[in-house]
Structure 1
Amino acid sequence: MRSQHDMPFGARLDEGGGATFRLWAPAAQRAEVAIETGGPSPELHPAEAGENGWWECTVAHATAGTLYRWRIDGRQLVPDPASRQNPEGPHGPSRIVDPKAFEWEGGWTGRPWHETVLYELHVGTFTREGTFAAAAARLPQLAELGITAVELMPVADFAGRFGWGYDGVLPYAPHPAYGTPEDLKRFVQQAHSLGLMVFLDVVYNHFGPQGNYLHSYAPAFFSPSKGSPWGPAINFDAPGREVVREFFIHNALFWVQEYRFDGLRLDAVHAIRDDSDRHVLQDLSERVRAATHGRHVHLVLENEDNDYRYLAPTPVPGCYDAQWNDDFHHVLHVALTGETRRYYHDYGERTMDLLERCFTHGMVFEGAKRREGGAREVVQAAPAQPLTALVNFAHNHDQVGNRARGERLSELVAPEARQLPTLLALLTPAIPMLFFGEEWGATEPFLYFADWEGELREAVRAGRKREFGHVDAHDLPDPCSERTLAASRPDPARAQAPAGQAWLNEARAALAARRRWITPRAALLLTGKHSAQRIGERGLAVQWRYEDGMMLCLELNLGESPLQVEPQHLGPVEAQVVFSHRRPEHTPRGTWPAYSARWTLGEEITL
């Protein structure tokens, strides 16, 4: 099976030989395709101007592997913004790729959403080599652990040798330091052969600050009136929007069709500015659903405002399968660390009550923008959401990497509580996600790093010191140093040590319990019918209810002292123990040890 996504942008190999190049450059007076010949000057081929700013050129001798750029107005050489490969990065030439040269194995149609157990990783630091090929070799370990879906942080090409990937400038071209397009396809194919889905993090709210040439020949890519945290917003609703919308919608289609990805996670959609009658998120979902009929392809949002209007418990055109649940992480973080700076501010009062609401309703707060410094402008409660439409996590790249020194939550809590946040994420009815290394209790930080140059490098360094002025800033990790990248690489050898093995065994057992007791019951889970009770200062009893009268119960003690619990707050006596953490079998039923949790499943008894 061979896959190619047809799009109106970029370079396409023609049936009879040669290639046709298309570029949207409405501000250009002249455009030429510049073929790299190995000599001092490129071979120039004039493009023909079409309607609405389009330029097109056919080069009869161009083949797969041909290097090319566009020359704008006889002076500026730029990469193809829809390049499938830029082997020297965004400042170098683009390369023609033949998508049909890769042979896909047939038969894989994905997995349903309720089976998803996500594992977020950064390709550059997941392995010592930092490549797709090296990451593929680690996939069998994840499948054996019980992971069902690997989520890659953005791989679209960005300036510099290393970075998180959220400042991509060539959305269709994999970052060359990670490998070739074929290497990425082999990664996806290897995952599928192991029963693993592959999700990709995509960024449709801005372009990176280096390596983006669109301002010079297609300024209509950017809004004339709306801003974003990174500068002018992408233009989704002003003149020229039709082509811009198509550019990003085709990008989503490109990844799920040409690369056979099983899902996309759309970064920071609260920063997408679109006042159109039909939001671009709705159009994107409808087009992806239509193009992937017969496959399980999932769409996930990150939305800091907790706007839930696009969520649906089943795949619906125009809607999304799920959204990252920052509230779960934030309230759990505050409950275990007491930290209330920046965006943790909203969770510093009635923390255990908010955790109770998070377990039963999903999100805690809804719809309020954040002030500079992190706290919400208005704190208002979110209504109950289908819990399977939320992704719960104790760690992710943002919540670890946006700290001054990149500490994982497991490094900030009492030693007895280190694994409890991970287990709580794995064993709620919501969809769980692990952050790479979390499965063995990695102690290495995940720091912010970006290989910027010149004035931008110095501005980023100074900005980090300003941002973290509340800490001792003299020894903050240099975000533009390769040492910072290396320090963010979890050492898999630690997984073989006794402590790492104990963590792995606990995570493996928790995922086995989820697979046996929670995943098969996902379709029966009710919404808005769950309940919880406070037990002392640091305890919670939670009840998740199902249509057939069964109830999943959590008995949780987040405190450093044991709790004595009254019988009315205990679950059914005959319930099946699903999983237990730090609670030996001989522990009296009404005693909850410090930092312990127990999950049971049984029929609800009405007294």
Structure 2
Amino acid sequence: MVFDLLERRKKKFTLWIPSGKRFTPSLVLGTFNDCPHATINELFTGPLKSSDTPDLWELDPKDINPPLQNGTVYHYWFELQSTSPSYPANFRVADPFAYTVDYRTIKTRNKHTHPPSVVKFRDDSNGTLWPCDIDGHEPSPVQVPPQDAMPVNNHLVIYELPCSWAKHDPEGGVDGMQIDVGTFSDVLALFDKEVAGQRFREIPQVASGAIVASLGINALELLPAADAWPRGAWGYATSHYYAPDSDLGTSSELVTLVESIHKMKIRFFTDVVMAFGYDPYVSIAFTQFHLNPDYEKDNPDSYVSHSGELRNPWGGTLWRYMQQTNTYNPESGTLENVHPSWAFHHGHLYRWMSDFCIDGLRLDSIENIANYDFIKSYKEKAWSLYQARYGNGPSEFLVIGEEIRNVPIDMISQGTLNTLWNEPFQGRLRAAIIGESSHGDNFEWTVRRMINCTLDSAHPFTDGAQAVNYITSHDVEGFRKERLFDFLWFSHVYDIERRAKLAFACLLTAVGIPMILAGEEFCDQMDRPVTQKQVDPVNYERLVSGWRSRVFDYVATLVELRKKCPALGYNDTEFIHLDQSRGGKIIAWKRGAPDQAPVVVVANFTDQDTPGEKYFVENWPEREREDWREITQKREVPRGWVGREPLMNWEAKIYTYWRG
């Protein structure tokens, strides 16, 4: 499968402007010079030519004088004529389809600055303009792993990782923390103990260990890896959709990361922000690609799905999705009616799936994208690219939608998405681990609907692969949304180790795909007040011996069970015990189909230990077997104690006779 404009870019400098404007854009081209200061040595400025297709501007490198030199890395902008008093008469923008941008010459980074795009000139038979890193290295596409090598959807455990990290500042610093941006190399160091990382190599936990590999997750969701102009944030100000974030590293380093985790049978997901952007089309062709809802209140495109609220750009500029224009279609290469924004976003999907072998996508704020037709087209395009990779293979790919205010389940039933974030799970779990009910249910049904999302009548999921469950997500702003440690502390709960283990026991035995926000596996805490979303970094230095280490080991044990035990990959759930003498707050559930070795969880959601030497759980399956074992303590259970073991307060015990 090919994308026409991406193929044309191999031969010529191209700029697509589906605006009907009749000004002639120019190419400004030069080379990088770092002595004595980082500057661009400009070598050429000249007009692009109107191609044989309307709205597509091109320039053959052979028409540039002085001639381009074989093997040289060039930096370039497109220069346009302004029709707005807010812009200078001539202004420069990055290539909207650039695979690499370079901020080294930008003195003050903000959403209005445009770094130069980067490309290498190669005068050979295969092409002339080659994608390259800023140092000229030409990345190869990620090697496609063998079919069936990756974990299937119903046995995923996703690790949601921002690249904004923290370390102690020996000189005190603000809040005693030094904030930095992890690179792709630093991410790899979390998986490979032979890799020390780049900016965090002095942190022993990162430099000498493999924290995330030890945790055992089998899917990495990197928060938006496409280029964003801010430093030290979590990537939600996407500026250059086709380029990896220059602060995180190069395309080559991202290829190394993905290939390395693929060898460990870990899938790679990335986050995509398509409700709003900071991209060059804001300056090039605003009315074709973007909108300001305050000025278009009669336009249905201005409103959030499922409500009458105006869409929120969150400091960026909203994408326009209903606009259609008769123009060059950058995907097919033909002249037809096109949604410009659809075509642009389909293009970077081709780029990321073809070059970085993406195994799944999380679409940010789907209700703020507010166009089901576009979202469905994006999902179907992603699946077609995945199937082009493997054919009609097994379920080893997902397109996940995130919406934290609502669960628009109709997006699954209508085939718009594969999976949704199950936001009610978080509310139910946080209520349960402090002994409260949630969502208008009594305690029993709070737990039932938490453990089995197919019982949620308000949001009726029909399969576990349709729901992503989490204790905490990167959206840590709002009531009971903060990190688990902080939630418990603010709730005046101080046996944090015990409650955290209970929370993870529920998460990792519930129907649905469990997702762990980086740092929750050792109860990281927030060091800075939450004034907006996604500002507090991950502090891996907290993972030391003591209670946090015990929580980590507990979670790792359950992650291994969740990945491998067949019973946890099916929806079948039976609640076999409810202790009314304890206010219905000692509950047992069984996971697994009738012909499988079950997983049985017995959970005590009270402040009291169970009385006596034994605690009897009625309806225990296959009680007479002699091969039951308790997973969290890694021990065999004597036959006489099966279904009779006592529980401490706020404790869950997890049993199975399955042997992996």
Letter in 1 for 2:28: A
1:124-143 alignment, distance < 5 Å: 124-125=164-165, 130-140=182-192, 141=210, 142-143=212-213
Give the Cα–Cα distance (whole angstroms) in 2 for the partners of residues 516 and 282 of structure 1: 28
Q: 1:77 aligns with which of 86, 92, 108?
A: 92
Q: Equivalent residue for 2:547?
A: 499
Query: Are 1:195 and 2:290 an aligned pair?
Result: no
Letter in 2 for 1:595: W
Give the Cα–Cα distance (whole angstroms) in 1 for the partners of residues 76 and 183 of structure 2: 25
Give the Cα–Cα distance (whole angstroms) in 2 for the partners of residues 384 and 82 of structure 1: 38
Deviation at 1:132, TM superposition (A): 0.9
Letter in 1 for 2:589: V
Q: Equivalent residue for 1:159?
A: 229
Q: 2:30 aligns with which of 36, 39, 48?
A: 36
* Deviation per residue, 1:15-54 (Å, 9 max, x gap): xxxx432323415422122213534685223231665533
Give the Cα–Cα distance (whole angstroms) in 1 for the partners of residues 166 and 353 of structure 2: 23
Query: Are 1:402 and 2:477 an aligned pair?
Result: yes
Which stretch shows the higher mean deviation, 583-592 or 179-188? 583-592
Give the Cα–Cα distance (whole angstroms) in 2 for the partners of residues 106 and 543 of structure 1: 38
Query: Are 1:121 and 2:161 an aligned pair?
Result: yes
* Deviation per residue, 1:303-360 (Å, 9 max, x gap): 4432334548xxxx966543222121121112335899xxxxx736535423312312
Give the Cα–Cα distance (whole angstroms) in 2 for the partners of residues 33 and 404 of structure 1: 50
1:326-405 alignment, distance < 5 Å: 326-337=423-434, 347=439, 350-362=442-454, 364=456, 381-398=458-475, 401-403=476-478
Q: Equivalent residue for 2:323?
A: 238
Q: Equivalent residue for 1:573?
A: 623
Letter in 2 for 1:144: S
| Structure 1: 5+ residue stretches without partners | 341-345, 366-380, 448-475
- Per the alignment, do residues 164 and 179 of structure 1 end up closer, same or farther by CA in structure 2, a change over 3 Å counting? same
Give the Cα–Cα distance (whole angstroms) in 1 for the partners of residues 115 and 374 of structure 2: 39
Query: Are 1:12 and 2:52 an aligned pair?
Result: no
Q: 1:229 aligns with which of 309, 312, 324?
A: 312
Which stretch shows the higher mean deviation, 160-169 or 555-564? 555-564
2:99 and 2:243 in contact (8 A); partners too: yes
Q: Equivalent residue for 1:65?
A: 73
- Per the alignment, do residues 275 and 506 of structure 1 end up closer, same or farther by CA in structure 2, a change over 3 Å counting? closer
| SS, match of residue 125 in structure 1 | strand
Which stretch shows the higher mean deviation, 153-162 or 300-309? 300-309
- Per the alignment, do residues 67 and 352 of structure 1 end up closer, same or farther by CA in structure 2, a change over 3 Å counting? farther
1:232-311 alignment, distance < 5 Å: 233-240=318-325, 241-274=338-371, 276=373, 279-294=376-391, 296-304=396-404, 305-311=406-412
Q: Equivalent residue for 1:185?
A: 255
- Per the alignment, do residues 277 and 260 of structure 1 end up closer, same or farther by CA in structure 2, a change over 3 Å counting? closer
Give the Cα–Cα distance (whole angstroms) in 2 for the partners of residues 291 and 353 of structure 1: 44
Give the Cα–Cα distance (whole angstroms) in 1 for the partners of residues 42 and 634 of structure 2: 69
* Deviation per residue, 1:144-168 (Å, 9 max, x gap): 3311111100022222222121221
Deviation at 1:298, TM superposition (A): 3.0
Give the Cα–Cα distance (whole angstroms) in 2 for the partners of residues 567 and 230 of structure 1: 53
* Deviation per residue, 1:414-437 (Å, 9 max, x gap): 313122212321233422222112
Which stretch shows the higher mean deviation, 105-114 or 166-175? 105-114
Give the Cα–Cα distance (whole angstroms) in 1 for the partners of residues 455 and 229 of structure 2: 36
Deviation at 1:71, TM superposition (A): 1.2
Query: Are 1:599 and 2:654 an aligned pair?
Result: yes
Root-mean-square deviation (CA, aligned residues, Å) is 3.7
Identify the structure with the greater helix proportion. Answer: 1
Letter in 2 for 1:490: N
| SS, match of residue 356 in structure 2 | coil
Identity, % of aligned pairs?
Answer: 18
2:428 and 2:439 in contact (8 A); partners too: yes
Q: 2:118 aligns with which of 89, 95, 99?
A: 95
2:93 and 2:114 in contact (8 A); partners too: yes
With normalisation by structure 2, the TM-score equals 0.71
Deviation at 1:599, TM superposition (A): 2.4
1:419 and 1:441 in contact (8 A); partners too: no
* Deviation per residue, 1:495-546 (Å, 9 max, x gap): 23233332232122222333443xx3466x246x644664333332223341
Q: Equivalent residue for 2:14?
A: 21
Letter in 1 for 2:370: R
* Deviation per residue, 1:40-94 (Å, 9 max, x gap): 6852232316655332222235666311111122712111122111121762111
Which stretch shows the higher mean deviation, 259-268 or 32-41? 32-41
Q: Equivalent residue for 1:443?
A: 525
Give the Cα–Cα distance (whole angstroms) in 1 for the partners of residues 607 and 479 of structure 2: 27
Letter in 2 for 1:23: W
Letter in 2 for 1:552: V
Q: Equivalent residue for 1:373?
A: none
Letter in 2 for 1:593: M
Deviation at 1:291, TM superposition (A): 3.2
Give the Cα–Cα distance (whole angstroms) in 1 for the partners of residues 374 and 2 of structure 2: 28
- Per the alignment, do residues 171 and 572 of structure 1 end up closer, same or farther by CA in structure 2, a change over 3 Å counting? same
Give the Cα–Cα distance (whole angstroms) in 2 for the partners of residues 560 and 197 of structure 1: 40
- Per the alignment, do residues 500 and 6 of structure 1 end up closer, same or farther by CA in structure 2, a change over 3 Å counting? same
Give the Cα–Cα distance (whole angstroms) in 2 for the partners of residues 386 and 479 of structure 1: 34
Q: Equivalent residue for 2:288?
A: 220
With normalisation by structure 1, the TM-score equals 0.76
Question: Looking at CA atoms only, which structure, 1 or 2, has the larger radius of gyration?
Answer: 2
1:562 and 1:592 in contact (8 A); partners too: yes
Give the Cα–Cα distance (whole angstroms) in 1 for the partners of residues 418 and 281 of structure 2: 34
Give the Cα–Cα distance (whole angstroms) in 1 for the partners of residues 186 and 556 of structure 2: 23
Pairs aligned (count): 530
Q: Equivalent residue for 1:512?
A: 560
